[in-house]
């Protein structure tokens, strides 16, 4: 990992999107896009879970990008209730693919609100091979669009998530587990809340293990 993380600006539908980007030295490296939590509740691409996820992909020799949605940090525009943020994520993925036209795999990951945007993006982009959804909120957002979910992935939550009652996650697990041809793993971290306070290390160990296992399949 000799390359450095660079700050860059990606052309987006509402203007420039502020981003951090790491390019792997590995030829035909896999790529990953990491998406931030809710902009109206203090979410940015510099959220600790987002940054740690970014670094976990880096350590697995991915070329990886994290991006501030419109109106966050130095990004142009203003919050658009999810539709604009989905367009921002699509623009960021376009840019990441242009920078890595010979990539071997394409992953998308999101934290909280970012997991919703990640899942919506994967429904529109057949090149996405795997996803990681951290602290999804099926009690707040309707995930019924995952019918069917087009690819395998990981959903990971804290068992003490104060924002998402456990039964909503188990119901989503039941629905996705019934689908054929894919495998969505659901993992729960004991004593972890929605933000994985004091449980970040356990979260990242689980992510690292999943990334290593699944990326080896391609």
- Tens digit of each residue's pLDDT (9 = 90 or more) over 147-171: 899 999 999 999 999 999 999 999 9
Q: pTM of the prediction?
A: 0.97
pLDDT, one tens digit per residue, over 165-208 is: 999 999 999 999 999 999 999 999 999 999 999 999 999 999 99
Residue 1 within a domain: no
Indicate which CATH number applies to the domain containing 158. Answer: 3.40.50.1820
**What are the tokens at 2?**
């000799």
Looking at the structure of the chain, the number of domains it has is 1
3-24 pLDDT tens trace: 799 999 999 999 999 999 999 9
Residue-level pLDDT at 105: 97
Question: Which range marks the domain in which residue 77 is found?
Answer: 6-215
Name residues whose C-beta falls within 8 Å of residue 43's C-beta, 6 or more positions apart in sequence: 36, 37, 72, 112, 113, 114
Does 158 fall in a domain? yes
């Amino acid at each position: 990992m000799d390359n450095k993380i660079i700050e860059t600006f990606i052309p987006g539908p509402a203007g420039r999107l502020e981003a951090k980007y790491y390019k792997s030295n590995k030829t035909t490296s896999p790529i990953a896009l990491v998406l931030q939590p809710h902009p109206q509740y203090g979410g940015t691409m510099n959220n600790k879970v987002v940054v740690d996820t970014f670094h976990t992909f880096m350590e697995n020799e991915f070329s990886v990008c994290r991006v501030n949605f419109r109106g966050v940090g130095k990004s142009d525009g203003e919050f658009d209730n999810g539709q604009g943020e989905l367009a921002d994520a699509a623009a960021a993925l376009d840019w990441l693919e242009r920078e890595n036209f010979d990539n071997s795999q394409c992953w998308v990951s999101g934290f909280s609100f970012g997991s919703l945007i990640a899942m919506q993006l994967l429904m529109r982009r057949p090149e996405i091979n795997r996803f990681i959804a951290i602290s999804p909120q099926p009690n707040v957002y309707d995930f019924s669009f995952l019918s069917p979910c087009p690819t395998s992935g990981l959903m990971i939550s804290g068992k003490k998530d104060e924002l998402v009652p456990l039964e909503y996650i188990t119901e989503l697990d039941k629905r996705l587990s019934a689908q054929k041809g894919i495998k969505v793993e659901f993992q729960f971290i004991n004593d972890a809340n929605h933000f994985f306070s004091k449980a970040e290390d356990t979260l990242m160990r689980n992510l690292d293990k999943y990334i290593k296992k699944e990326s080896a399949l391609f």
